[in-house]
Protein backbone atom coordinates (compact mmCIF):
# COMPACT_ATOMS: atom_id res chain seq x y z
CA UNK A 1 0.00 0.00 0.00
CA UNK A 2 1.16 3.48 -0.76
CA UNK A 3 2.30 5.59 2.14
CA UNK A 4 1.97 8.95 0.42
CA UNK A 5 -1.83 9.25 0.52
CA UNK A 6 -1.74 8.37 4.22
CA UNK A 7 0.80 11.11 4.87
CA UNK A 8 -1.26 13.53 2.85
CA UNK A 9 -4.38 12.77 4.86
CA UNK A 10 -2.41 12.99 8.13
CA UNK A 11 -1.40 16.49 7.13
CA UNK A 12 -5.06 17.44 7.27
CA UNK A 13 -5.16 16.40 10.96
CA UNK A 14 -1.90 18.06 11.81
CA UNK A 15 -2.68 19.14 15.35
CA UNK A 16 -4.29 15.94 16.60
CA UNK A 17 -1.62 13.83 14.91
CA UNK A 18 1.13 15.96 16.43
CA UNK A 19 -0.44 15.65 19.87
CA UNK A 20 -0.54 11.88 19.53
CA UNK A 21 3.08 11.83 18.34
CA UNK A 22 4.08 13.96 21.32
CA UNK A 23 2.25 11.66 23.71
CA UNK A 24 3.89 8.58 22.24
CA UNK A 25 7.30 10.26 22.36
CA UNK A 26 6.91 11.17 26.04
CA UNK A 27 5.69 7.67 26.84
CA UNK A 28 8.63 6.16 24.96
CA UNK A 29 11.12 8.38 26.83
CA UNK A 30 9.72 7.59 30.26
CA UNK A 31 9.11 3.89 29.64
CA UNK A 32 12.65 3.29 28.31
CA UNK A 33 14.21 4.99 31.31
CA UNK A 34 11.83 3.37 33.80
CA UNK A 35 12.59 -0.10 32.44
CA UNK A 36 16.28 0.66 32.75
CA UNK A 37 15.81 1.88 36.33
CA UNK A 38 13.96 -1.34 37.18
CA UNK A 39 16.78 -3.42 35.71
CA UNK A 40 19.26 -1.47 37.86
CA UNK A 41 17.24 -2.22 40.99
CA UNK A 42 16.84 -5.87 40.11
CA UNK A 43 20.58 -6.14 39.55
CA UNK A 44 21.20 -4.64 43.00
CA UNK A 45 18.73 -7.00 44.59
CA UNK A 46 20.48 -10.02 43.10
CA UNK A 47 23.99 -9.20 44.32
CA UNK A 48 25.57 -12.30 45.86
CA UNK A 49 26.31 -12.26 49.59
CA UNK A 50 28.66 -15.26 49.43
CA UNK A 51 26.78 -17.07 52.22
CA UNK A 52 24.50 -20.10 52.22
CA UNK A 53 21.61 -17.64 52.40
CA UNK A 54 18.68 -20.01 52.57
CA UNK A 55 20.09 -21.95 55.50
CA UNK A 56 20.69 -19.15 58.00
CA UNK A 57 18.76 -17.75 60.94
CA UNK A 58 19.79 -14.67 62.95
CA UNK A 59 18.99 -13.85 66.58
CA UNK A 60 20.38 -10.72 68.21
CA UNK A 61 19.90 -9.88 71.86
CA UNK A 62 20.22 -6.54 73.64
CA UNK A 63 22.84 -6.29 76.34
CA UNK A 64 21.72 -6.73 79.91
CA UNK A 65 23.51 -5.33 82.93
CA UNK A 66 27.18 -4.37 82.78
CA UNK A 67 28.17 -7.32 80.61
CA UNK A 68 30.58 -8.86 83.13
CA UNK A 69 29.16 -12.35 82.69
CA UNK A 70 28.47 -11.93 78.98
CA UNK A 71 31.24 -14.34 77.96
CA UNK A 72 29.94 -17.30 79.91
CA UNK A 73 26.38 -16.40 78.94
CA UNK A 74 27.33 -16.32 75.26
CA UNK A 75 29.02 -19.71 75.59
CA UNK A 76 25.98 -21.15 77.31
CA UNK A 77 23.68 -19.68 74.65
CA UNK A 78 25.75 -21.13 71.80
CA UNK A 79 25.87 -24.54 73.48
CA UNK A 80 22.11 -24.48 74.02
CA UNK A 81 21.41 -23.41 70.45
CA UNK A 82 23.67 -26.18 69.14
CA UNK A 83 21.63 -28.79 70.98
CA UNK A 84 18.42 -27.83 69.16
CA UNK A 85 17.49 -30.62 66.75
CA UNK A 86 18.18 -29.70 63.14
CA UNK A 87 20.86 -27.12 63.95
CA UNK A 88 24.08 -27.76 62.02
CA UNK A 89 26.33 -24.95 63.19
CA UNK A 90 26.13 -21.85 65.35
CA UNK A 91 28.28 -18.73 65.01
CA UNK A 92 28.53 -15.45 66.88
CA UNK A 93 29.16 -12.67 64.38
CA UNK A 94 29.38 -8.88 64.55
CA UNK A 95 27.56 -8.11 61.29
CA UNK A 96 25.95 -9.68 58.24
CA UNK A 97 26.01 -8.80 54.54
CA UNK A 98 23.16 -6.60 53.30
CA UNK A 99 21.89 -5.35 56.65
CA UNK A 100 21.20 -1.80 57.77
CA UNK A 101 22.75 -0.22 60.81
CA UNK A 102 26.23 0.29 62.16
CA UNK A 103 28.87 -1.63 60.30
CA UNK A 104 32.46 -2.13 61.33
CA UNK A 105 34.68 -0.61 58.67
CA UNK A 106 38.39 0.10 58.59
CA UNK A 107 40.84 2.00 56.42
CA UNK A 108 43.25 -0.44 54.86
CA UNK A 109 46.84 0.43 53.97
CA UNK A 110 49.36 -1.63 52.03
CA UNK A 111 52.44 -0.14 53.70
CA UNK A 112 52.94 0.94 57.31
CA UNK A 113 52.91 4.71 57.74
CA UNK A 114 51.19 5.19 54.40
CA UNK A 115 49.62 8.68 54.28
CA UNK A 116 46.37 7.86 52.46
CA UNK A 117 44.44 4.68 52.98
CA UNK A 118 44.18 2.36 49.97
CA UNK A 119 40.53 1.51 50.48
CA UNK A 120 37.89 0.90 53.13
CA UNK A 121 37.01 -2.64 54.11
CA UNK A 122 34.20 -4.18 56.13
CA UNK A 123 35.57 -6.03 59.15
CA UNK A 124 33.81 -9.28 60.05
CA UNK A 125 34.65 -11.25 63.16
CA UNK A 126 33.22 -13.75 65.62
CA UNK A 127 33.33 -17.43 66.52
CA UNK A 128 32.95 -20.14 63.86
CA UNK A 129 31.96 -17.64 61.18
CA UNK A 130 33.46 -19.09 57.97
CA UNK A 131 31.87 -22.53 58.18
CA UNK A 132 28.51 -21.37 59.57
CA UNK A 133 28.07 -18.73 56.88
CA UNK A 134 29.02 -21.41 54.37
CA UNK A 135 31.72 -19.25 52.77
CA UNK A 136 33.55 -20.93 49.92
CA UNK A 137 37.25 -21.13 50.80
CA UNK A 138 39.23 -20.87 47.54
CA UNK A 139 42.79 -20.91 48.88
CA UNK A 140 44.60 -21.20 52.19
CA UNK A 141 42.89 -22.37 55.37
CA UNK A 142 40.28 -21.48 57.97
CA UNK A 143 41.30 -20.04 61.37
CA UNK A 144 42.79 -22.43 63.97
CA UNK A 145 41.33 -22.35 67.50
CA UNK A 146 44.58 -20.96 68.94
CA UNK A 147 44.43 -17.93 66.63
CA UNK A 148 41.26 -16.59 68.26
CA UNK A 149 41.43 -13.69 70.72
CA UNK A 150 38.65 -12.04 72.72
CA UNK A 151 37.35 -8.73 71.44
CA UNK A 152 37.63 -7.01 74.84
CA UNK A 153 41.25 -8.19 75.31
CA UNK A 154 42.13 -6.98 71.82
CA UNK A 155 40.53 -3.58 72.42
CA UNK A 156 42.12 -3.25 75.88
CA UNK A 157 45.56 -3.94 74.48
CA UNK A 158 44.89 -1.45 71.71
CA UNK A 159 43.92 1.18 74.27
CA UNK A 160 47.24 0.54 76.00
CA UNK A 161 48.98 1.36 72.76
CA UNK A 162 49.98 -2.17 71.79
CA UNK A 163 48.69 -4.34 68.98
CA UNK A 164 49.89 -7.54 70.66
CA UNK A 165 46.44 -8.64 71.80
CA UNK A 166 45.01 -8.25 68.32
CA UNK A 167 44.69 -11.14 65.86
CA UNK A 168 47.64 -11.46 63.48
CA UNK A 169 45.87 -13.29 60.66
CA UNK A 170 43.06 -12.49 58.32
CA UNK A 171 40.88 -14.09 55.64
CA UNK A 172 39.91 -11.90 52.69
CA UNK A 173 37.63 -12.15 49.67
CA UNK A 174 38.88 -12.99 46.19
CA UNK A 175 37.63 -9.63 44.93
CA UNK A 176 39.63 -7.75 47.56
CA UNK A 177 42.74 -9.87 46.87
CA UNK A 178 42.53 -8.98 43.18
CA UNK A 179 42.16 -5.31 43.96
CA UNK A 180 45.06 -5.21 46.41
CA UNK A 181 47.49 -7.44 44.52
CA UNK A 182 46.33 -7.82 40.91
CA UNK A 183 47.68 -10.98 39.32
CA UNK A 184 49.61 -11.99 42.42
CA UNK A 185 49.17 -14.70 45.04
CA UNK A 186 47.49 -13.08 48.04
CA UNK A 187 48.29 -15.81 50.58
CA UNK A 188 51.06 -14.79 52.95
CA UNK A 189 50.85 -11.10 52.01
CA UNK A 190 50.43 -8.45 54.73
CA UNK A 191 48.36 -5.28 54.96
CA UNK A 192 47.74 -2.72 57.72
CA UNK A 193 44.62 -1.55 59.47
CA UNK A 194 43.62 0.72 62.38
CA UNK A 195 46.80 2.73 62.55
CA UNK A 196 49.58 0.35 61.60
CA UNK A 197 48.57 -3.07 62.86
CA UNK A 198 49.80 -5.75 60.42
CA UNK A 199 47.60 -8.64 59.27
CA UNK A 200 48.79 -11.66 57.30
CA UNK A 201 46.43 -13.22 54.74
CA UNK A 202 45.95 -16.92 55.47
CA UNK A 203 42.86 -17.63 53.42
CA UNK A 204 40.83 -16.38 50.46
CA UNK A 205 37.05 -16.89 50.19
CA UNK A 206 35.04 -16.54 46.98
CA UNK A 207 32.55 -13.91 48.12
CA UNK A 208 31.46 -12.03 51.21
CA UNK A 209 29.51 -8.84 50.60
CA UNK A 210 29.77 -5.80 52.87
CA UNK A 211 26.85 -4.98 55.19
CA UNK A 212 26.17 -1.63 53.49
CA UNK A 213 28.18 1.27 52.06
CA UNK A 214 28.95 -0.09 48.63
CA UNK A 215 30.53 3.02 47.16
CA UNK A 216 33.95 1.46 46.70
CA UNK A 217 32.99 -2.12 46.01
CA UNK A 218 30.72 -4.57 47.77
CA UNK A 219 33.41 -7.26 47.80
CA UNK A 220 35.85 -5.47 50.13
CA UNK A 221 35.48 -7.62 53.24
CA UNK A 222 37.89 -9.20 55.68
CA UNK A 223 37.46 -11.73 58.50
CA UNK A 224 39.32 -11.77 61.82
CA UNK A 225 39.68 -14.63 64.29
CA UNK A 226 38.14 -12.71 67.17
CA UNK A 227 35.52 -13.84 69.69
CA UNK A 228 32.76 -11.53 70.81
CA UNK A 229 29.75 -11.74 73.09
CA UNK A 230 26.12 -10.93 72.48
CA UNK A 231 26.57 -7.92 74.78
CA UNK A 232 29.19 -6.53 72.43
CA UNK A 233 26.69 -6.54 69.59
CA UNK A 234 27.18 -10.12 68.41
CA UNK A 235 24.37 -11.91 66.62
CA UNK A 236 23.76 -15.62 66.89
CA UNK A 237 23.86 -17.03 63.37
CA UNK A 238 22.35 -20.50 63.14
CA UNK A 239 22.70 -22.77 60.13
CA UNK A 240 20.13 -25.46 59.46
CA UNK A 241 18.24 -27.06 56.58
CA UNK A 242 16.12 -24.49 54.65
CA UNK A 243 12.86 -26.18 55.63
CA UNK A 244 13.73 -26.21 59.33
CA UNK A 245 14.40 -22.48 59.68
CA UNK A 246 11.09 -21.39 61.18
CA UNK A 247 11.08 -24.23 63.68
CA UNK A 248 14.73 -23.63 64.62
CA UNK A 249 14.08 -19.90 65.09
CA UNK A 250 11.15 -20.62 67.38
CA UNK A 251 13.02 -23.24 69.36
CA UNK A 252 16.10 -21.01 69.59
CA UNK A 253 14.12 -18.07 70.96
CA UNK A 254 12.39 -20.31 73.48
CA UNK A 255 15.73 -21.71 74.59
CA UNK A 256 17.29 -18.24 75.00
CA UNK A 257 14.26 -16.95 76.95
CA UNK A 258 14.51 -20.02 79.15
CA UNK A 259 18.14 -19.24 79.97
CA UNK A 260 17.25 -15.65 80.93
CA UNK A 261 13.65 -14.43 80.66
CA UNK A 262 14.56 -10.75 81.10
CA UNK A 263 16.44 -10.26 77.84
CA UNK A 264 15.45 -8.06 74.98
CA UNK A 265 15.39 -9.67 71.55
CA UNK A 266 16.52 -7.08 69.02
CA UNK A 267 16.39 -9.26 65.94
CA UNK A 268 14.87 -12.63 65.14
CA UNK A 269 14.67 -13.54 61.49
CA UNK A 270 15.82 -15.81 58.73
CA UNK A 271 18.61 -14.38 56.64
CA UNK A 272 16.27 -14.31 53.64
CA UNK A 273 14.00 -11.94 55.59
CA UNK A 274 16.97 -9.79 56.59
CA UNK A 275 18.04 -9.57 52.99
CA UNK A 276 14.63 -8.67 51.65
CA UNK A 277 14.26 -6.04 54.39
CA UNK A 278 17.54 -4.51 53.25
CA UNK A 279 16.39 -4.39 49.63
CA UNK A 280 12.77 -3.48 50.47
CA UNK A 281 13.24 0.06 49.18
CA UNK A 282 14.55 -1.22 45.87
CA UNK A 283 11.73 -3.67 45.56
CA UNK A 284 9.14 -0.99 46.41
CA UNK A 285 10.74 1.37 43.90
CA UNK A 286 10.70 -1.20 41.11
CA UNK A 287 7.07 -2.04 41.89
CA UNK A 288 6.28 1.64 41.67
CA UNK A 289 8.12 2.04 38.40
CA UNK A 290 6.36 -1.00 37.00
CA UNK A 291 2.94 0.41 37.88
CA UNK A 292 3.90 3.72 36.26
CA UNK A 293 4.91 1.89 33.08
CA UNK A 294 1.64 -0.03 33.01
CA UNK A 295 -0.42 3.12 33.69
CA UNK A 296 1.46 5.03 30.98
CA UNK A 297 0.98 2.33 28.36
CA UNK A 298 -2.67 2.07 29.34
CA UNK A 299 -3.25 5.81 29.06
CA UNK A 300 -1.42 6.05 25.76
CA UNK A 301 -3.17 2.95 24.41
CA UNK A 302 -6.57 4.35 25.34
CA UNK A 303 -5.59 7.69 23.83
CA UNK A 304 -4.82 5.94 20.55
CA UNK A 305 -8.15 4.11 20.69
CA UNK A 306 -9.97 7.41 21.30
CA UNK A 307 -8.30 9.33 18.49
CA UNK A 308 -8.48 6.46 16.01
CA UNK A 309 -12.19 6.05 16.73
CA UNK A 310 -12.65 9.75 16.10
CA UNK A 311 -10.78 9.58 12.81
CA UNK A 312 -12.74 6.56 11.67
CA UNK A 313 -16.00 8.31 12.50
CA UNK A 314 -14.89 11.44 10.68
CA UNK A 315 -13.89 9.56 7.54
CA UNK A 316 -16.88 7.32 7.20
CA UNK A 317 -17.81 8.90 3.89
CA UNK A 318 -14.28 8.81 2.58
CA UNK A 319 -14.09 5.13 3.49
CA UNK A 320 -17.41 4.50 1.80
CA UNK A 321 -16.20 6.19 -1.38
CA UNK A 322 -13.03 4.12 -1.39
CA UNK A 323 -15.01 0.93 -0.83
CA UNK A 324 -17.38 1.90 -3.63
CA UNK A 325 -14.39 2.45 -5.92
CA UNK A 326 -13.16 -1.06 -5.29
CA UNK A 327 -11.02 -1.02 -2.15
CA UNK A 328 -11.38 -4.24 -0.16
CA UNK A 329 -12.02 -4.41 3.57
CA UNK A 330 -8.40 -5.49 3.95
CA UNK A 331 -7.28 -2.30 2.23
CA UNK A 332 -9.22 -0.14 4.68
CA UNK A 333 -7.97 -2.15 7.67
CA UNK A 334 -4.39 -1.86 6.47
CA UNK A 335 -4.81 1.85 5.82
CA UNK A 336 -5.52 2.53 9.49
CA UNK A 337 -2.87 0.08 10.65
CA UNK A 338 -0.21 1.72 8.49
CA UNK A 339 -1.35 5.15 9.55
CA UNK A 340 -0.93 4.13 13.19
CA UNK A 341 2.44 2.53 12.43
CA UNK A 342 3.63 5.79 10.92
CA UNK A 343 2.37 7.95 13.77
CA UNK A 344 3.90 5.68 16.39
CA UNK A 345 7.07 5.60 14.29
CA UNK A 346 7.36 9.39 14.32
CA UNK A 347 6.66 9.32 18.05
CA UNK A 348 9.39 6.75 18.61
CA UNK A 349 11.99 8.74 16.68
CA UNK A 350 11.20 11.81 18.77
CA UNK A 351 10.89 9.61 21.88
CA UNK A 352 14.35 8.14 21.47
CA UNK A 353 15.90 11.57 21.45
CA UNK A 354 13.82 12.44 24.52
CA UNK A 355 14.76 9.17 26.25
CA UNK A 356 18.40 9.96 25.73
CA UNK A 357 17.94 13.51 27.03
CA UNK A 358 16.03 12.25 30.05
CA UNK A 359 18.78 9.75 30.73
CA UNK A 360 21.36 12.56 30.69
CA UNK A 361 19.19 14.49 33.14
CA UNK A 362 18.88 11.47 35.44
CA UNK A 363 22.64 10.90 35.30
CA UNK A 364 23.17 14.44 36.44
CA UNK A 365 20.77 14.34 39.38
CA UNK A 366 20.68 10.76 40.58
CA UNK A 367 24.13 9.32 39.87
CA UNK A 368 22.83 6.73 37.43
CA UNK A 369 24.67 5.14 34.51
CA UNK A 370 23.68 6.11 31.00
CA UNK A 371 20.75 4.39 29.33
CA UNK A 372 22.21 1.53 27.23
CA UNK A 373 21.18 1.80 23.58
CA UNK A 374 19.66 -1.66 23.67
CA UNK A 375 16.66 -0.33 25.55
CA UNK A 376 15.63 1.97 22.70
CA UNK A 377 14.66 -0.68 20.10
CA UNK A 378 12.92 -2.60 22.88
CA UNK A 379 10.84 0.45 23.77
CA UNK A 380 10.12 1.05 20.07
CA UNK A 381 8.92 -2.52 19.63
CA UNK A 382 6.68 -2.30 22.70
CA UNK A 383 5.07 0.93 21.51
CA UNK A 384 4.52 -0.34 17.97
CA UNK A 385 2.84 -3.42 19.39
CA UNK A 386 0.72 -1.27 21.70
CA UNK A 387 -0.26 0.99 18.80
CA UNK A 388 -1.30 -1.93 16.60
CA UNK A 389 -3.34 -3.50 19.40
CA UNK A 390 -5.02 -0.18 20.20
CA UNK A 391 -5.88 0.64 16.61
CA UNK A 392 -7.25 -2.80 15.77
CA UNK A 393 -10.79 -2.26 17.07
CA UNK A 394 -11.34 1.15 15.40
CA UNK A 395 -9.72 -0.13 12.18
CA UNK A 396 -12.02 -3.15 12.11
CA UNK A 397 -14.96 -0.82 12.60
CA UNK A 398 -13.68 1.21 9.65
CA UNK A 399 -13.34 -1.90 7.53
CA UNK A 400 -16.96 -2.74 8.29
CA UNK A 401 -18.22 0.52 6.77
CA UNK A 402 -20.40 -0.48 3.80
CA UNK A 403 -19.77 1.13 0.38
CA UNK A 404 -23.32 2.45 0.37
CA UNK A 405 -22.29 5.18 2.83
CA UNK A 406 -20.74 6.95 -0.15
CA UNK A 407 -24.18 7.69 -1.53
CA UNK A 408 -25.49 9.25 1.65
CA UNK A 409 -24.86 12.86 2.49
CA UNK A 410 -24.47 12.57 6.27
State the nearest-atom distance from the C-beta of 248 to another protein, in Å.
23
Instruction: Kindly tell me which of 108 and 238 has the beta carbon lying closer to another protein.
Output: 108
- DSSP class per residue in 20-87: HHHHHHHHHHHHHHHHHHHHHHHHHHT---SS-GGGEEEEEE---TTSTTHHHHHHHHHHHHHTSTTE
Taking 3-state DSSP, the helix, strand and coil percentages for the chain, each rounded to the nearest 5, stand at 55, 15, 30
State the nearest-atom distance from the C-beta of 131 to another protein, in Å.
30
Q: How far is CA 135 from CA 139, 210, 273, 410, in A?
A: 12, 14, 19, 80
Going by C-alpha positions, the residue among 53, 91, 104, 14 that lies closest to residue 274 is 53
Distance CA 300, CA 31 (A): 11
State the nearest-atom distance from the C-beta of 69 to another protein, in Å.
14
Instruction: Kindly tell me which of 281 and 329 has the beta carbon lying closer to another protein.
Output: 281
Q: How far is CA 217 from CA 122, 211, 275, 284, in A?
A: 10, 11, 18, 24
State the nearest-atom distance from the C-beta of 281 to another protein, in Å.
6
Residues that bind another protein (CB under 8 A): 15-16, 19-20, 22-23, 26-27, 30, 34, 37, 62, 65-66, 102, 107, 115-117, 119-120, 155, 158-159, 194-195, 213, 215-216, 261-262, 264, 266, 277, 280-281, 284-285, 288-289, 292, 295-296, 299-300, 302-303, 305-307, 309-311, 313-314, 362, 365-366, 409-410
Instruction: Kindly tell me which of 107 and 147 has the beta carbon lying closer to another protein.
Output: 107
Instruction: Kindly tell me which of 237 and 289 has the beta carbon lying closer to another protein.
Output: 289
Instruction: Kindly tell me which of 18 and 338 has the beta carbon lying closer to another protein.
Output: 18
Instruction: Kindly tell me which of 296 and 327 has the beta carbon lying closer to another protein.
Output: 296
State the nearest-atom distance from the C-beta of 390 to another protein, in Å.
12
Q: How far is CA 252 from CA 145, 239, 375, in A?
A: 25, 12, 49
State the nearest-atom distance from the C-beta of 159 to another protein, in Å.
5
Amino acid sequence: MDILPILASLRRHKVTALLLILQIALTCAIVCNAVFLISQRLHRMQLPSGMAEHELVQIRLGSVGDGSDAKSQTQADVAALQRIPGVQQVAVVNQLPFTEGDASNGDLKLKPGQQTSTLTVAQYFGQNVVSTMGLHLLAGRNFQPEEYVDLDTALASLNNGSAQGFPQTVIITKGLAERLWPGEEALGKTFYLGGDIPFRVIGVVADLARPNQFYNGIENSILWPMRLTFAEGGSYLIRCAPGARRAVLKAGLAKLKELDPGRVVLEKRTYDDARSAFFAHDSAMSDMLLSVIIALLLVTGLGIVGLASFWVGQRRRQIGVRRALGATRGDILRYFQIENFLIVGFGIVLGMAMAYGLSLLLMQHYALPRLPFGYLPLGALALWLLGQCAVLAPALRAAAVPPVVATRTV
